[in-house]
């Protein structure tokens, strides 16, 4: 169901200049309204999100939207909304994807600045509801918006963002797992679909669909005489990490646990052929600079085996979260941690600043 408040539909034609972005909007009244904003300092992806979000906001409301620079270094810029003589300004940050792990930081920003808004390429429906319940303003690239200020209440709901449409086609649970195998073993791209299926357990149908979509989105290119190579791999990885964290990872959760009082995590003798560290403890094992507060394991062992073998206690509030492994741990039998890609993804998706900083160092190493 699509719920829209303050709707004013129109079509638009875009024009660009070297320093500014314009949208010329012909209305039925033959009056021309123009959106103009300086591009946001940052990546082309960020600028694209901003341009699409602002154009869709105006498309589904009666407000003229524009972007302004801010003197405050704590925000990316200012979203200005104007209708007649009425002008509203909101301090804004722009993100590729708004994640659950960022919620505490957004709550803090809203407490210190009630004229704040988060703009993102994609904001999941559950996160939108949490933001609304806490009075945090948001706007996504599809035009979904919640703005509650003294001068304006605006709600646009039920619109599909460009990122959401791409997500539907490119990132299914099956393709997320397949991409993980291709990331950690890119030589698989050189093989046939049958070779990839044998190495990953993916179905031929999934491989065929995933590779077609990867080609369509310019993420792989044909390698002569057979196979493919990655193209724009960094961009694909940037998309894969939040998709894994929000879509697949929650479905892999076996349970939460606490350690017995006399058990120190660093002295637990894991069966590394079945169970390995990720997240904070894995980063500490690899770099020695992140004493863990939260703990993550991936395993092929059952809950009963975990409790018996490692003296764990089921605890819904426990610091240890255990997930089912979705790749063959036997392929790298001498490792005590999961592949660094997964350690990196778990650190980044936690949303904790210290984890993100360590993740960057892990990527460099």
pLDDT for 164 equals 58
Q: What is the mean pLDDT of residues 280-298?
A: 94
pLDDT for 159 equals 83
Highest mean pLDDT among 19-23, 35-39, 158-162: 158-162
Q: Identify the helix (H) or strand (E) that includes residue 156.
A: strand 153-157
Q: Does 222 share its domain with 268?
A: no
pLDDT of 298-341, one tens digit each? 999 999 999 999 999 999 999 999 999 999 888 777 789 999 99
pLDDT of 25-46, one tens digit each? 333 333 333 333 334 444 556 7
Q: Does 122 share its domain with 87?
A: yes
Q: CA torsion angle for 259, 265, 270, 275 (degrees, to 10)?
A: 80
Number of domains the chain contains: 3
Q: Does 51 share its domain with 135?
A: yes
| Rounded-to-integer distance, Cα 163 and Cα 211, Å | 19
Which of 160, 187, 204 is the last residue in one of the domains?
Answer: 160
- The answer to whether residue 22 scores a pLDDT higher than 80 is no
Q: Does 213 share its domain with 250?
A: no
pLDDT for 252 equals 97
**Which residues lie below 8 Å from residue 219, measured CB to CB, with a gap of 6+?**
230, 231, 232, 233, 235, 236
pLDDT of 197-234, one tens digit each? 999 999 998 998 899 889 888 899 887 677 899 998 99
Token pair for residue 191? 């093989």
Q: Does 128 share its domain with 207?
A: no
Q: Does 148 share its domain with 82?
A: yes
Q: Does 351 share its domain with 323?
A: yes
Question: Cβ of 15: how many Cβ atoms within 10 Å?
Answer: 10
pLDDT for 167 equals 60
Question: Cβ of 335: how many Cβ atoms within 10 Å?
Answer: 16
């Amino acid at each position: 169901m699509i719920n829209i408040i303050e709707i004013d539909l129109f079509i638009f034609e875009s024009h660009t200049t070297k320093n500014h972005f314009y949208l010329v909007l012909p209305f039925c009244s033959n009056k021309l309204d123009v959106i103009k904003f300086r591009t946001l300092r940052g990546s082309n992806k960020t600028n694209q999100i901003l341009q699409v979000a602002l154009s869709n906001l105006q498309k589904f409301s009666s407000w003229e939207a524009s972007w302004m620079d801010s003197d405050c270094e704590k925000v990316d810029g200012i979203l200005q909304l104007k209708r007649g003589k009425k002008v509203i300004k909101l301090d804004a940050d722009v993100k590729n994807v708004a994640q659950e792990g960022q919620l505490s930081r957004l709550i803090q920003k809203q407490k210190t600045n009630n004229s704040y808004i988060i703009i993102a390429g994609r904001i999941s429906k559950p996160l939108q509801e949490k933001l609304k319940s806490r009075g945090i303003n948001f706007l996504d690239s599809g035009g979904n918006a919640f703005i509650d200020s003294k001068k304006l209440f605006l709600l646009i709901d039920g619109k599909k963002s460009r990122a959401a449409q791409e997500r539907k086609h490119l990132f299914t649970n099956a393709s997320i797992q397949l991409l993980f195998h291709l990331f950690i073993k890119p030589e698989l791209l050189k093989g046939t679909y049958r070779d990839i299926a044998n190495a990953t357990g993916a179905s031929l149908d999934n491989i065929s669909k995933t590779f077609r979509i990867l080609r369509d989105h310019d993420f792989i290119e044909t390698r002569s005489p057979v196979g493919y190579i990655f193209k724009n791999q960094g961009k694909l990885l940037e998309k894969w990490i939040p998709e894994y964290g929000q879509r697949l990872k929650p479905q892999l959760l076996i349970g939460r646990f606490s350690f017995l009082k006399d058990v120190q995590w660093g002295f637990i003798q894991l069966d590394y052929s079945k169970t390995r560290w990720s997240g904070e403890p894995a980063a500490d094992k690899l770099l020695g600079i992140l004493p863990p507060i939260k703990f993550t394991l991936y395993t092929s062992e059952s809950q009963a085996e975990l409790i018996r073998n490692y003296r764990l206690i089921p605890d819904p509030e426990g610091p240890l979260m255990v997930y089912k492994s979705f790749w063959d741990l036997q392929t790298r039998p001498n490792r005590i941690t999961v592949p660094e890609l997964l350690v990196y993804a778990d650190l980044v998706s936690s949303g904790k600043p210290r984890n993100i900083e360590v993740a960057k160092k892990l990527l460099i190493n």
